[in-house]
Amino acid sequence: MKLIHIHGFKCAGSTLELILNREYPNLLKVESSKSGKRLFFDDIPPKLLDTDAISSHLLSPTKGIEALQVSLLRNPLERIVSAWKFETKGKKKLKESSLSLREYVENYKKSILSNYQSKLLSFQKKSDHFSCGWEISFDLEYLFSQNFFIGTVERFDESMVLIEQRLKKKGIQIDMSYPSRQNTTQSIKSKYNQANLERFLYPASDVDTWLLDLTNRKIDQEINSIHNFEILLNDYRLRCKTCIFVEHYSEVNYI
């Protein structure tokens, strides 16, 4: 296995998943059969692990495996606005469209998923407790090691180039180019006061904001360590202009 993608909700994961689907036709998409229940690597049946890559919304970070684990963070306010649009106004809307953005944020603040991105990338312990899988428990040394890569939506192209370089060090060639962003909500317009909403959201996004800031500093450090990064980035963007996605899509396995 070469790569594991921990797919954050509304964090450009659909685009990354389509890249992996093209590069690895045997991509394993795996989710929990129980809504919101976190998965652990040892939950996956061995017969499914004969694959080059895994993508999952619910898989917890895992130590002791060879594959490069990757995930993308996003500005918490932008992510929550995108989630609200997707769930209330998008083609696959999940909630009543009458739910206002402020009401959506209020529900989020009260939920176990507040500071969602930090909890998604925390190392979890199996338990029957209701909060199992959604606690903040960082191992920053591991999350920013050579075995794990955290990129950002706002720096998507740079993040993809860094993933290519990480895998190249492992002797793995991959093309992380993409023709266009997928499953976006940019076309759905909304009006809100950013400063006021950011302040309202803050108690449920403060750790996510801190982690995003740290990630951006780590990305800067890694880019600065690659002497020809600008050349690599320009080459990547040229590839994006001519690349395509494939029409075959991996089915989701629920366990």
Q: What mean pLDDT comes out for the span 50-61?
A: 98
Q: What mean pLDDT comes out for the span 151-170?
A: 98
**Cβ neighbours around 28 below 10 Å, total:** 22
pLDDT tens profile 15-40: 999 999 999 999 999 999 988 899 99
Predicted local confidence at residue 129, as pLDDT: 75
Predicted local confidence at residue 203, as pLDDT: 95
Whole-angstrom distance, CA of residue 203 vs CA of residue 117: 14
**In this structure, what are the phi and psi dihedrals at residue 142, rounded to the nearest 5 degrees?**
-75, -40
Q: Say which CATH architecture domain 3-254 belongs to.
A: 3-Layer(aba) Sandwich (3.40)
Predicted local confidence at residue 183, as pLDDT: 57
Q: How far are the Cα atoms of 76, 83, 193 from residue 14, in angstroms, in the given order?
A: 18, 13, 28
Q: Residue 161 above 70 pLDDT? A: yes
Contacts of 202 (CB under 8 A, 6+ apart): 209
Residues 136, 115 contacting (CB under 8 angstroms): yes
Structural domain boundaries of the chain? 3-254
Residues 227, 52, 92, 36, Cα dihedral to 10°: -100
Contacts of 84 (CB under 8 A, 6+ apart): 99, 101, 104, 105, 190
State in Å, rounded, how far the first CA of the chain is from the last one: 19
Q: Place 169 in a pLDDT band, splitting at 50, 70 and 90.
A: very high
Whole-angstrom distance, CA of residue 25 vs CA of residue 11: 22
Predicted local confidence at residue 20, as pLDDT: 97
